[in-house]
Structure 1
């Protein structure tokens, strides 16, 4: 049987287990985030998407990652403060993860296999790669780092309806 988002457990910023079964029936956008990246201002757009759609069953899960140019060097606590103070982020930002390599978090391995990138590559190329996951827990679409959050609204709306 094909895996779904709900089968995974991740760590929050305090190191507690968060079963993604908590998001059963929701549309979820999973993003690898970083505080010191050229795409970091996307936090603002992500928060706007979250506010716009959260009452319709939408959630964003941010996963800080330091694998791209060491652009997320902070501790989980520092990352939380940065997101809150600089961008008013209210969506869940989890604990730091690896998204590539042998230490890649199982959730990220699954998403990459489910929705490979250009030319079938599974590697995450940079921060702010986004995966849209439907209510059924399956990956709908992968978005590149350069894809602005506002440009995802139509796909999110479609997944919610």
Structure 2
């Protein structure tokens, strides 16, 4: 199994197979524009702009599961990401990342990578690095700034 086995909804409600990203290095992130970690969107965008031509993509999945930090509609989320943070990387429909209604992609990512305190996602901006074969290779905690692991992205792009 790999992430290519999953289909997700874009922020505009269209079904998209993750197989469309086959052969790329991906950073999959549960985001929230009203979270204290929201400035990481700037770093995620910087990484995307720097490496997109080398086969790197950030996939943002808004989540309102942690203290109502993403309460708006998908359209409002997209607007906030674009206007406040200049986001141009792909955004997807709001999801849940924990519990019985968790998005299947995030169930898979959690199982594949675990975490310091078990597999549950503890907060917004948990980041999953996925290699070109669609396999999750590393999970980064919400407080880990994206630029701190830029070297790992570069390694996977080689």
| TM-score, normalised relative to structure 2 | 0.99
Report the aligned-residue RMSD: 0.6
Long gaps (5+) in structure 2:
none
Long gaps (5+) in structure 1:
none
**Number of corresponding residues:** 158
Q: Could you tell me how far apart the structure 1 residues matched to 2:53 and 2:11 are?
A: 24
Residue in 2 that maps onto 1:17:
15
Q: Could you tell me how far apart the structure 1 residues matched to 2:20 and 2:51 are?
A: 17
After superposition, give the CA deviation of every residue in 1:55-101 in whole Å (9 maximum; x if it has no partner): 00000000000000010000000000000000110001100000000
Once the two structures are TM-superposed, the CA of residue 142 in structure 1 deviates from its matched residue by 0.1
- Point out 4+ residue stretches in structure 1 off by more than 4 angstroms: none
Q: Where do residues 32-71 of structure 1 align in structure 2 (5 Å cutoff)?
A: 32-71=30-69
Q: What secondary structure, in the 3-state scheme, does the structure 1 residue paired with 2:79 have?
A: helix
Residue in 2 that maps onto 1:122:
119
Q: Could you tell me how far apart the structure 1 residues matched to 2:121 and 2:80 are?
A: 23
2:101 corresponds to 1:103: yes
Once the two structures are TM-superposed, the CA of residue 14 in structure 1 deviates from its matched residue by 1.3
One of 126, 131, 136 as aligned partner of 1:134: 131
| TM-score, normalised relative to structure 1 | 0.97
Q: Could you tell me how far apart the structure 2 residues matched to 1:57 and 1:13 are?
A: 22
Residue in 1 that maps onto 2:84:
86
Q: Could you tell me how far apart the structure 2 residues matched to 1:133 and 1:122 are?
A: 17
